[in-house]
Every structure is written in C-alpha cells, then in structure tokens.
Amino acid sequence: MKIKKTRIDGIKMFQAPKGLMNINDDSEVVKKALEEKPLKKWYQEVKQNKANTILFDNENGEAYQATTITKNKKIYAGVAPNLVQAYFDIALEQIQWTNKYANTFHYIAKKKFGEVHLIDTPIFHRFIQYRISAIIFLHLTVEAFINHIIPEDFVYPKTENSNSGKFIEQITKLSKDQIERWVSFQEKIEKVVPLIPHLNFDIERNRDIVGRILEIVKIRDEIIHLKSKGKETNIHYEKIFNFIGSRDLEKYLSAVKKFINIIDKDFIKIDSIDESNFRQEIQISKPENLHIGVLFEIIKVKEERITLYIKKWKELTKDSDHIKSVLAHLKLMEEMNLIMDYLIEEKPSKFIVEIFKNAEQIK
C-alpha cells in the first residue's frame, strides 16, 4: 500500500569548506573550546535545553541546526526539521487518515432515519478529530511559511484610516518582528506578502487559492476559540461541524501547497512510499480460511499494526455475511479492549482490513 509523505529538509545554518572539521580530540581547536566551556558544563546545558547545537556534515561542508532530547538520562541529537514542511506533512497525514475512516463508514454504519446512516461513535469521533487536526496544521503551515519568507530587514508600511477627525490616514512602519506579532493573518497574506521584494506574488491572479486559505483561517479561529451554542439554533459549534461535514479537505491541502510553491518553487514535495514493511500482514485467499480463528491469531500478534488482506472470490462483496461477520468480531474486540481501532477498504481484487493496537494490548 502506498502512502504520501512530505519531503522534510533539515534547517541548514551555513555552508563551509569540505573537510573543515578534520580535527581530532587533541587538536588546539578542541582544547581551546574545552577551556572556554568544559564538556561537563556543555552536557548540563544540553540537558536543560540551553545549548545551541550544530551538526556538521564534514563530507559536504554543510552545517545544520540540531535539537537534543534527553530520555532516561541519555542525550539524543538529530537535525532539526523544517517546521513548515513538518506542519504540512502532519496535515497531509491526517487527511489521508480521514479518507480511510470515510471509506470504512459503509461497513460499520447502520441505516436508520430514512437515508441517514448512523456510524459507530468511537470511529466517527476519531474521524472528526483527524479533520480538526488537519485544519489546524494547514493554518500553521501557511502562518509559519509567511513568517519564514519575510526578510529580516523588511519594513511594512501599515496604513490606517480614521473617522475621528484627528487624522485622515496614518502610516505606521512595522519591522519583521512586529509584523509577526501584531498583524492579522489576512493582512499578512493580502497586503504584506505582495510587498515582499522578489516574490512576485500576484494576489488577484491567485485569489481562489488565497480564498481557500482564508476559509481555513476562519474555521481554525472557530476551533480554537470554541464559541458555545448558537442563540437561534441552540446547536454547539455549528460552524465547525458544518465545515467538517461538507468540505473536501484535499482541496484546501492543494491550495496551501500551491500557495507555497508559487512563492518558493518545490518547497513542498510529496513522495509516495510503500508502507508494507511497517506492519504484520495476514493473507486470506479462500473462503474456508476466513473464520474466527483468524481473529484469534490477530489477538496473539504482538504488533501495533496488523493488515488483513482478503482476496475476493465470486460471492464476496462488501455486503457479504463474511465481511459483516469479520466487522462484528472486530467491533467486539474493540469493546473488549483487545484492539484499539480498525479500518476497512475495498480494492478491485481484495479487501484490506487494518487493525491497530496500543502498547498495553501487545504486552
């Protein structure tokens, strides 16, 4: 199975000559550095997240910002990721999950109230959670990117009009730091970005893209501030649930990607990767093999993710008793806390059932 992942770069600090760090522990450079700050003190600062750390690729002469993590009294270090790309990747992942959940609805919904099909509550709640998370991280992606592309020496002439009679128009010059803190998102994207030198971003030509991004901002504000129930309808969080239930989030994901790549070509790159190596797989090819014993085997498997591939035979459809029986048992297993979650997807030649466990369930 293929999943899509965003290519995430490390935060590059500077480019130096190759082989610059061809030094050993007895070199004068190392001795001088240790005189200024003993190794013990440096380790102490790292543990307190106070040390500035750089990882140097000596072969290519590339220096990257590093981040450290202390776990069980051990210090781990890695290249700090580009957070704009990381935020986008989280949104991309969440949207893929919501699509998987939506594909599962057919198999777990019960038909009631005419055309309305009721969905199992835990799965439906997780579907809503993933969509909310995707919206928040799409907003974070654009906000972080705009702050990233504003030059350090950029000055924004903010224009304000007044009806008080004291002045007709007032222009306040704002620095990058002041823009980041005090200028609204909408003003940043519509007025600040077009003024940044060398970007050549035409706001009117890309009005559709910007419009979708501003929709994300509005619904994100609703999510963050959670205004209670409406006075007229008495419905809680009506705007949030209406947006989540009616909008195709992939269109908003696409708008964010296009906006960023128009300004910085190929900043967001998406790869497809094969995730078949990251799970325990069980293959079912014959009707006689699809029985309750398979589910007992799933309970025994000590893996967080198990994929059941059910090859289609002539009578096997999504409405077959075989499939309904599998799902009924999975539901029971979830209620008994033997598994955490499950998804089902239909392909032309097979059904794919993904089953998830937590750490407690695989002990």
Label each residue of the chain as H, E or C: CEEEEECCCECEEEECCCCCCCCCCCCHHHHHHHHHCCHHHHHHHHHCCCCCCEEEECCCCEEEEEEEEEECCEEEEEECECHHHHHHHHHHHHHHHHHHHHHHHHHHCEECCCCCEECCHHHHHHHHHHHHHHHHHHHHHHHHHHHHHCCCCCCEEEEEECCCCCCCEEEEEECHHHHHHHCCHHHHHHHHHHHCCCCCCCCCCCHHHHHHHHHHHHHHHHHHHCCCECCCCCCECHHHHHHHHHCCHHHHHHHHHHHHHHHCCCCCCEEEEECHHHCEEEEECCHHHCCHHHHHHHHHCCCCEEEEEEECCCCCCCCCHHHHHHHHHHHHHHHCCCCCEEEEEECCCEEEEEEECCCHHHC
Report the range of poorest mean pLDDT among 179-183, 234-238, 239-243, 267-271: 234-238
- Please state, as a whole number, how many other Cβ atoms lie within 10 Å of the Cβ of residue 98: 21
Q: d(Cα 149, Cα 320) in Å, to the nearest integer?
A: 55
pLDDT at residue 268 greater than cutoff 90: yes
Q: d(Cα 82, Cα 106) in Å, to the nearest integer?
A: 38
* Gap between the terminal Cα atoms of the chain: 27
pLDDT at residue 23 greater than cutoff 60: no
Tokens in use for 222? 């609703």
pLDDT at residue 226 greater than cutoff 90: no
Q: What is the torsion angle, in degrees rounded to the nearest 10, for the CA atoms of residue 9, residue 14, residue 20 and residue 23?
A: -80
Which one is predicted more confidently, 33 or 99? 99
Which region holds residue 113: left if phi is over 0, alpha if psi is between -120 and 50, else beta?
left
pLDDT at residue 336 greater than cutoff 60: yes
* Residue % of the chain over a pLDDT of 70: 83
Provide the pLDDT for residue 81. Answer: 94
pLDDT at residue 66 greater than cutoff 70: yes
Provide the pLDDT for residue 216. Answer: 97
Identity of the residue numbered 328: A
Provide the pLDDT for residue 210. Answer: 97
Give residue-wise pLDDT tens across range 274-320: 655 556 888 988 888 888 788 888 888 888 889 999 999 888 998 89
- Please state, as a whole number, how many other Cβ atoms lie within 10 Å of the Cβ of residue 243: 21
Q: What is the pLDDT averaged over residues 127-145? A: 97
The position carrying tokens 């781990």 is 76
pLDDT at residue 21 greater than cutoff 80: no
* Residue % of the chain over a pLDDT of 90: 42
Average pLDDT, the chain: 85
In terms of average pLDDT, the best of 53-57, 167-171, 233-237, 280-284 is 280-284
Do residues 145 and 91 make contact, with C-beta atoms less than 8 angstroms apart? no
Q: d(Cα 18, Cα 15) in Å, to the nearest integer?
A: 9
Q: What is the pLDDT averaged over residues 166-190? A: 89
**Residue partners of 110: CB distance under 8 A and separation at least 6:** 117, 118
Give residue-wise pLDDT tens across range 82-118: 999 999 999 999 999 999 899 889 888 887 778 888 8
Angle at the Cα of 330 from the Cα atoms of 128 and 321, rounded to 5 degrees: 110
Predicted TM-score of the model (pTM): 0.78
